[in-house]
Chain A
């Protein structure tokens, strides 16, 4: 298995632009998580899905952030409009679900908003 796939790996954009991050979870996994990593705040859970349904989006910073999971093999995290403070590494992770399962992380997308 190729593992969790994220694209792009790097994104540089200007303030005010729309940014879309993409994730393909591991085949057969039914839970998907979006995290943001910064030096100041560490790893923060933004939102997670179970069987394509958003379960908890309380970590989404504000209305500029939205996430979708149209099917079991694809998810997007969109920021519109982007701001410099959104600069971070965004990780997607997936797991086969249940209470005690390992989360497999993708390689991340490094976002820089100028």
Chain B
């Protein structure tokens, strides 16, 4: 089955800096790559996703890039703010009934 590796496990940045989280996947058939943000005491929430026919997608301060040849995708957060502090999960889907395989998560801490 699909295997998703996520790095780093923790990331500390200063407010205003950029943050990058990287994921690799194993199954070349995967075609959907969402990113979820989980705040303390809450369930994961989708913040951005990318499909296999697109190389990059942006939404204000966040962007995701996909390299299908290398089987990796990354989340980029620019001008980080303290409210960006959370655990971020990447995931991949090989299709079917929307089954997602999640990475282990990255705890992002943005210090004021």
A: which residues have CB within 8 A of B? 4, 31, 42-43, 45, 48, 50, 55-56, 91, 93, 95, 97-108
Contact = CB atoms under 8 A, between A and B. Distances in A.
Contacts of A98: 98
| Interface SS, B side | loop
Nearest to B94: A99
B93 interface: yes
| Interface SS, A side | strand
Contacts of B49: 102
A84 B101 CA distance: 26
A21 B68 CA distance: 39
B63 interface: no
Contacts of A31: 97-98
Nearest to B45: A105
A99 B95 CA distance: 5
